[in-house]
A and B are shown apart, each in its own frame.
Chain A
Amino acid sequence: MTEAKKEKFIVPIGPQHPALKEPGNFEFTVDGEIVTDATVRLGFVHRGIEKACETRNYTQDMYLLERVCGICSHVHATAFVLGVEKLAGVQAPPRAEAIRVLAAELERIHSHLLWFGVAAHEAGFDTLFMYTWRDREVVMDILETLSGSRVHYSVNILGGVKIDIDQKLSDLIKKDMDFLEERTEHYMKVVTTDETFLGRTRGIGTLSRDRAKLLGAVGPTARASGVKRDVRVNAPYSGYKEFPVKMVIDQTGDLEARFVVRLKELYESYRLIREILEKIQPGEISTRIKRKIPEGEVISRVEAPRGELFYFIKSNGTEMPDRVKVRTPSLCNWGTITDVAVGHKLADMPMLLAGIDPCFSCNDRMVEIRSDSQPSQMMNWDGLRKYGIEYYK
């Protein structure tokens, strides 16, 4: 028993993360090639935002919370704004709600394409990575034209939105959606037919429906395992009441399913954006809201590109919240990694990690490979990625 234990290696990966450009630390205990245990250490980009919110007013908090994440900034502001509006008893005008959804779906497109590129890169498929990121620029340009900014678009204000769309912009977006849809068709073909790629995804990291439910998986990770969890459908908020979406579900639960689900969600986003542009009604885009928010507690949930984003806001009747609690989707999905990793090859780890679309500043984390009883064998993320690619050559 003791001897067998000695042969086990703990492989630490991170916190420097050349591939993901974000810090996180994982430790995989390996027995030969097979992973027997996995842990995660977060906090490398912890910024104390929840605490900082308590000393700023609601408007400042909205901008601060938008900076929780540089990929899904809009959903953070939306979740917060919807909660505060509920506390204040204010309803944003329908046009504002539609624009919020429009921005959220554009954000989903950019986020999914970004993830797709990163995942392709982890698999050693850099051509695909280049193509997806090139196409992602199309949606980034739309966001920039729409709001003046590529990353923190700050579309929301308390009580509505601050940007509007006109006919010219609407035509431009529609044209771009057609282009992106065509590209997505191509990616779908690659993901489901390219043998090299399928070698890294099909039947790997399978998460059963029951496991996914028990582990509290959310977003595309859960939906790829057949769990019907999508806040946009389960509890429609903002403009999703008027513009419903269809939930994309896959029963397979492996890495390939996670690719397919995200790509199918792109189609749904294109469709929804076209529908909004067709049907959006003229009208006001914001309404007045008092600086002091009445006392109370509110829960606000929205569907971020990575899954359910949860906000708990407690107001004490002043201009500043008493408590803001943020639970980001990546945090839930980490549990699935530490669970699924066991029994897989070390070479599969980069793809497994990429499969949940981890967002580090959302939760903040890294990977590390360390030896238990023998001299430490350090492996950085890049090293592990190369190891994975070499292994499957």
Chain B
Amino acid sequence: METIKFLESGKLILEKWIERSQTTEENRLDIWISTANLKPAVQSLVEIRWGYLITITGLDIPPVRDQDNNELQPGQLEALYHFANDADIITIRVKVPYSKPQIDSICEIIPSATIYEREVIELFGFDLLNTPNTEKLILPDSWPEGVYPLRKSFTNLQDLVTSNKEQSND
């Protein structure tokens, strides 16, 4: 009973921004919205005190290529903002292309999101606009710029390990 109530109240408040929605489990609602609407959507959930932000999950959707290696669909990144209210989970999802991976930071609304934002910046290469802190959280300080380990294209650490060793020699 309560499950339905919570999910519906969440859906109602977010309705005007929803581009597509999906319910894969009875206690879950996934909604896709445009990046421009992310901040107002999060704001409205926080305003009605709809649960709390569990985390931000990053997903890499590598480019689709045909046999001749022509790009049919450019590579994309997807950020999933999971909000939980008791057993219910609303996931706000935004997709951005590799070429312009910009999303507004939500730290103004939820200050504790900074740690999750730093994580997706480092591991996926998102560009969080106006995020308060972009210092390295997990990766070593010597990690090369522009290498994002959780993208599918990243498979090998060998070269990085060697170059780090050379650095430490001097």
Contacts and interface: CB of A to CB of B under 8 A. Distances in A.
Contacts of A312: 57, 80, 82
A364 interface: yes
Interface in A23-52: 41-43, 46, 48, 50-51
Given A43-B137, A43-B138, A301-B84, A48 B54 contact: no
A181 B132 CA distance: 47
Interface of A: 41-43, 46, 48, 50-51, 54, 86, 213-216, 234-235, 296-299, 301, 308, 310, 312, 314, 323, 325, 327, 331-332, 334-335, 364
Interface string B142-162: 000000011010100000000
Contact of B53 (A46, A48, A216): A216
Given A235-B87, A299-B89, A364 B150 contact: no
B74 interface: no
Contacts of A331: 55, 115
A46 B89 contact: no
Interface of B: 24-25, 27-28, 30, 49, 52-55, 57-60, 80, 82, 84, 86-87, 89, 91, 110-112, 115, 135-140, 149-150, 152, 154
B25 A86 contact: yes
Given A215-B111, A327-B54, A234 B87 contact: yes
A214 B111 CA distance: 8
B28 A43 contact: no
Given A41-B137, A43-B139, A215-B112, A323 B59 contact: yes
Nearest to B28: A299
Contact of A234 (B28, B30, B86, B115): B86
Given A46-B139, A323-B59, A334 B115 contact: yes
Nearest to A54: B152
Contacts of A234: 86-87
Given A299-B82, A310-B55, A327-B54, A43 B140 contact: yes
B28 to A, nearest CB: 6
| Interface of chain A: mostly helix, strand, loop or mixed | mixed
Contacts, number: 73
Contact of A216 (B28, B30, B112): B112
Contact of A50 (B24, B49, B150): B150
Contact of A327 (B25, B55, B135, B140): B55
B59 A314 contact: yes
Given A50-B150, A298-B24, 13 more contacts: A46-B138, A214-B112, A215-B112, A216-B110, A216-B112, A234-B87, A235-B86, A296-B24, A297-B30, A298-B25, A312-B57, A312-B82, A323-B59
Nearest to B85: A234
B131 to A, nearest CB: 15
B112 A43 contact: no
Contacts of B136: 41, 43
Given A310-B55, A312-B80, A327-B54, A235 B115 contact: no
A234 B52 CA distance: 13
Given A86-B25, A213-B52, A51 B150 contact: yes
Contacts of B57: 312, 323, 325
Nearest to B149: A51
A36 B154 CA distance: 40
15 contacts: A42-B137, A43-B137, A297-B30, A308-B54, A310-B54, A310-B82, A312-B57, A323-B59, A325-B55, A325-B58, A327-B54, A327-B55, A331-B55, A335-B111, A364-B138
